[in-house]
Amino acid sequence: MFELPAVAQTAQDRIASVGLEGRIDVCAGDAGADPLPAGYDAFLVANLAHYWSPEQNRALLHRIRDVAAPGATLLIADFWTDPTHTSRSRPP
């Protein structure tokens, strides 16, 4: 897991509380600014795309490709929002 520093400890605590600390790593950082951890076999980009511009999303996907292990899986989970990003909306 690559999560903002303010959330990383909460994530680590939750992972430990369900006994998965040996299976999930937590790395603190900013996906838009910090180097991504390398060599992982799965990447889940969750709830970022609707906040970021198309250019920022493409840059992130290129950065993930650069550090992903061969054969890695990319999962994207997101939702459409209104232009203010305050409520969900239907796609155009």
pTM of the predicted model as reported, rounded to 2 decimal places: 0.77
Q: Is residue 49 part of a domain?
A: yes
Q: What average pLDDT score do residues 41-46 get? A: 91
How far apart CA 14 and CA 19 sit, in angstroms, is 9
pLDDT at 85: 72
Q: Is residue 87 part of a domain?
A: no
Residue 72 has pLDDT above 80, yes or no: yes
Total domains in the chain come to 1
CATH number for the domain harbouring residue 15: 3.40.50.150
pLDDT, tens digit, 9 for 90 and up, residues 44-69? 999 888 888 899 999 999 999 999 99
Q: Is residue 36 part of a domain?
A: yes
Going by pLDDT thresholds of 50, 70 and 90, the confidence category of residue 89 is confident
Q: Using a pLDDT cut of 90, give the percent of the chain over it.
A: 64
42 in Cβ contact with 73 (< 8 Å): yes
